[in-house]
């Protein structure tokens, strides 16, 4: 049973390392089937999702087609923000949005241009995993994701060699005795 758990854990670490490192090398966020995982770093959208959660956003949407009540992720001042649309504005054929965090008292001071929208929250949330995702995408976390699978494989090989040598010794002693 512990062999199965060890194998599953190793596969999860290796898959996480592959996704994070491939996205780091490509210069974009991890994307799977048109969805990106984002870490929630503030409590502005509680209780919809908690600080430290990861959320999935759909990046295949037309950014000018969102409606009041949709939760969107957008770029503002080199930061990603995920808030709910409270008003859709159309001026000269250009669509923009007024947004607000569910846990905030007031509407955001900025107006979100449709061109800065990254995607729409699709309802998928995993609590607390965002802390790990945020750490894994840091330089130290990426380095650990390279080191940990290698160390686990090395440890597994050493343990296999030790177990084989013990079996060999027992077999050798039983043949002699």
One-character DSSP codes across 57-116 = EE--S-TT---TT-EEEEEETTEEEEEEEEEEEEETTEEEEEEE-TT-SS--SSEEEGGG
Q: What is the pLDDT along the chain (177 residues), one digit of tens a residue?
A: 677 887 787 776 666 666 666 656 655 666 667 777 788 888 899 899 888 888 889 886 788 889 999 999 999 988 889 999 999 999 988 999 999 999 999 999 999 999 999 999 988 888 887 777 667 667 777 677 677 777 877 888 888 888 888 887 777 667 665
For the chain, domains (ranges, CATH) are: 1-28+132-163 (no CATH), 33-127 (2.10.109.10)
42 is catalytic: yes
Check 42, 115, 160, 165 and give the catalytic one: 42
pTM (two decimals) = 0.65
């Amino acid at each position: 049973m512990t062999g199965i758990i060890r194998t599953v854990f190793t596969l999860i670490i290796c898959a996480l390392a592959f996704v994070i490192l491939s996205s780091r090398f490509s210069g974009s966020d991890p994307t799977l089937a048109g969805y990106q995982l984002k870490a929630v770093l503030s409590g502005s959208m509680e209780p919809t999702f908690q600080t430290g959660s990861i959320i999935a956003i759909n990046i295949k949407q037309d950014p000018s087609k969102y409606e009041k009540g949709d939760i969107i992720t957008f770029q503002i001042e080199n930061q990603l923000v995920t808030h709910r649309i409270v008003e859709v504005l159309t001026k000269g054929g250009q669509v923009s949005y007024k947004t607000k965090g569910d846990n905030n008292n007031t509407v955001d001071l900025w107006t979100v241009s449709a061109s800065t929208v990254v995607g729409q929250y699709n309802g998928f949330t995993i609590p607390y995993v965002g802390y790990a995702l945020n750490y894994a995408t840091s330089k130290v976390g990426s380095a650990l994701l390279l080191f940990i699978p290698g160390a686990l494989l090395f440890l597994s090989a050493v343990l296999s060699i030790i177990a084989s040598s013990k079996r060999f010794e027992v077999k050798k002693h039983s043949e002699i005795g």
